[in-house]
Amino acid sequence: EIVLTQSPGTLSLSPGERATLSCRASQSVSTSYLAWYQQKPGQAPRLLIYGASSRATGITDRFSGSGSGTDFTLTISRLEPEDFAVYYCQQYGSSITFGGGTKVEIK
Amino acid sequence: QVQLQESGPGLVKPSETLSLTCAVSGYSIRSGYYWGWIRQPPGKGLEWIGNIYQTGNTYYNPSLKSLVTISVDTSKNQFSLKLTSVTAADTAVYFCARGFGTMVRGVIGFYFDYWGQGSLVTVSS
């Protein structure tokens, strides 16, 4: 099973700042089959990125994904108030596993 | 607009079977995609349970495979989850979702583009 480790656990930033979230896999993720989701309290996760770098339908270009192999990054270029949430990575190249999440909170 | 809605009992006794149904609207299950279940214990992360295709082909998390059955009813445009012998550790919000399938060296994987709102199931006597 591929274990995904997300860091940091919590990111404290101000609106307008850039957020960089990391997802590291215990082994290489095939064909960069990695997705990112955003989850707000009491809501279902929302797909942001698939294939490591492709934005899902309707997702603003403030969100971008990059990486390959075992190291992946989600970048939010300028934080808006609605971006403060928990973010999960998920690999789907070898069964399916999720990372433990990164909480982006208002500083 | 694709919508998914979970339904089922909110309380299940230990050792009994948890049963949930996901009704899909705005998209026909017969048209494709893989339909799945993911759960989230209170305050914790996400765990994939399994997916099903319209043909009835199923794909399960190996750690849950012996306890899980997912079925589909294309005539009602819905799919269902059964989890047997539940314990308190199965207390979670259960989400249904539409999965986009990918194949790597014969192994299938999914990412999820539409989700239901989630259904909290508590396991307690």
pLDDT on residue B42: 96
* Adjacent-strand bridge partners of A69: none
Q: Do A47 and B95 touch (CB under 8 A)?
A: no
The number of angstroms, rounded, from the C-alpha of A31 to the middle of its chain's C-alpha atoms is 17
b/e code B78-108 from CB counts within 10 Å (16+ = b) = bbbbebeebeeebbbbbbbbbbbbbeeeeeb
Residues of chain A with pLDDT under 70: none
| Residue of chain B nearest A47, judged by CA positions | B113
Contact status of A9 with chain B (Cβ, < 8 Å): no
pLDDT on residue A30: 84
Is a pLDDT exceeding 90 seen at residue B105? no
| Residue of chain A nearest B42, judged by CA positions | A42
Distance from CA of A55 to the nearest CA of B (A): 11
Compare CB distances from B46 to A47, A91, A98 and report the shortest one's residue.
A98
Q: Do A96 and B104 touch (CB under 8 A)?
A: no
Is a pLDDT exceeding 90 seen at residue B106? no
Residues with Cβ within 8 Å of residue B47, at least 6 apart in sequence: A98, B38, B39, B40, B41, B61, B92
Residues with Cβ within 8 Å of residue B31, at least 6 apart in sequence: none
Is a pLDDT exceeding 90 seen at residue B107? no
B7: burial class by Cβ within 10 Å (0-12, 13-18, 19+)?
Answer: middle
Residue B38 CA to residue A21 CA, distance in Å, equals 23
Contact status of A87 with chain B (Cβ, < 8 Å): no
Is a pLDDT exceeding 90 seen at residue B62? yes
CA angle (B41, B47, B51) in 5-degree steps: 130
| Residue of chain A nearest B59, judged by CA positions | A95
Residue A20 CA to residue B70 CA, distance in Å, equals 37
